Amino acid sequence: MAKSMTKSAIIAHLAGKAALPKKHVATVLDHLATLAAKEAKNMFTIPGLGKLVLRNLKARMGRNPQTGEPIKIAAKRVVRFRVAKALKDAVLGKK
């Protein structure tokens, strides 16, 4: 299995493609991550890539895997990433 790209590898690749200094690309990447975290509650979309959405999960019954004892799992909010259809088609190919 191939290794995933590190943040520094992504920065180096984008800097090479855009002919920009690595510092500028790193700053843009950091600002994008900060903006995504701040705006996720309003559904943050990156065109061609996907969108961050908040979901409310209901309380449910679970099971302790060691003892088999039923436990109650509390309701919570989670952040999910929905991959854009264009990206899915590019990675998986059209059916």
pLDDT tens-digit readout, 27-81: 999 999 999 999 988 899 999 999 999 999 999 999 999 999 999 999 999 999 9
pLDDT value of residue 57? 95
In this structure, the dihedral spanned by the alpha carbons of residues 66, 69, 74 and 80, taken in order and rounded to 10 degrees, is: 40
Could you tell me the pTM of the whole model? 0.76
Provide the CATH number for the domain formed by 43-95 in this structure.
Answer: 4.10.520.10
Q: Which segments of the chain belong to CATH 4.10.520.10?
A: 43-95
Q: Which among 41, 45, 44 has a CA at the least distance from the CA of 78?
A: 41
pLDDT value of residue 1? 64
**Cross-sheet strand order for the sheet of 50-57:** 44-46, 50-57, 76-83
User: What is the average pLDDT across 76-88?
Assistant: 94
